[in-house]
Structure 1
Amino acid sequence: MTKILVVCLGNICRSPLAHGILQSKLSSDKFVIDSAGTGAYHIGNSPDYRSIAVAKKNGIDISMQQARQFTASDFDEFDIIYAMDSSNYKNILSLAQSESDKEKVKLILNENPVLTNKNVPDPYHGDTSDFEYVFKILDDTCSLIADKLG
Structure 2
Amino acid sequence: MTRRIALVCLGNICRSPMAHVVLEQRLADAGIDDVVVTSSGTGDWHVGQPMDERAAATLTAAGYDATRHRARNFTPDWFGEQDLILTMDASNHADVLALARSDEDRAKVRMYRSFDPEADTPDAEVPDPWYGGPEGFDEVLKMVERTTDGIVRYLSDAS
**What's the TM-score, normalizing by structure 2?**
0.91
Q: Which residue of 106, 127, 147 maps to 1:141?
A: 147
- Mark the runs of 5 or more structure 1 residues left unpaired by the alignment: none
Q: For 2:88 and 2:131, locate their aligned partners in 1 and report how far apart those are by CA, in whole Å.
A: 16
**Residue 67 of structure 2 aligns to a residue in which SS?**
coil
3-state DSSP class of the match of 1:142?
helix
Residue 35 of structure 1 corresponds to: 39
Q: Within 1, Cα distance between the matches of 2:42 and 2:71?
A: 10
Runs of 4+ off more than 2 Å: none
RMSD of aligned C-alpha atoms? 1.1
Per-residue CA deviations over 1:110-136 (Å, capped at 9, x if unaligned) read 112422260100000111000000000
Measured after TM superposition, the shift of residue 63 of structure 1 is 1.7
TM-score, normalised relative to structure 1: 0.97
C-alpha distance in 1 between matches for 2:24 and 2:81: 17
Instruction: Kindly report which structure 2 residues correspond to 1:97-108, keeping only aligned pairs within 5 A, or say none.
Output: 97-108=101-112
Contact preservation (8 Å) 2:117, 2:150: no
CA distance in structure 2 between the partners assigned to 1:143 and 1:53 by the alignment:
21
Counterpart of 1:65 (choices 55, 65, 69) is 69
Match of 1:80 among 77, 84, 101: 84
Stretches of structure 2 lacking an aligned partner (at least 5 in a row): none
Q: Secondary structure at the match of 1:94?
A: helix
Instruction: State the secondary structure of the residue aligned to 1:26.
Output: helix
Aligned length: 150
Identity of matched residues, %:
39
